Amino acid sequence: MKARQAFKFRLCPTSEQDSVLSRHAGGVRFVWNKALDLQTKRLDAGMPLLSYGD
């Protein structure tokens, strides 16, 4: 049986790093929501979901 171990790290970004992280998170959220909208519209139209390769 494998034992799993977890680690917790606290990030202490500078104000510049915090700004970059916030912009990155905003971009990721935008892409996620666009992909979710696309998949939802495909399901509503009776089409199959897109896979990662598509």
CA atoms of 23 and 29, how far apart (whole Å): 10
pLDDT beyond 90 at 54:
no
Please write the tens of the pLDDT for every residue from 28-38.
Answer: 999 999 999 99
**Rounded to 5°, angle at Cα 29 from 17 and 37:** 170
Q: Is the pLDDT of residue 52 over 90?
A: no
DSSP symbol at 49:
P
- Tell me the CA distances in angstroms from 45 to 8, 24, 27, 29, 40, one per residue in order: 43, 32, 27, 24, 9
SS3 17: helix
pTM of the complete model: 0.69
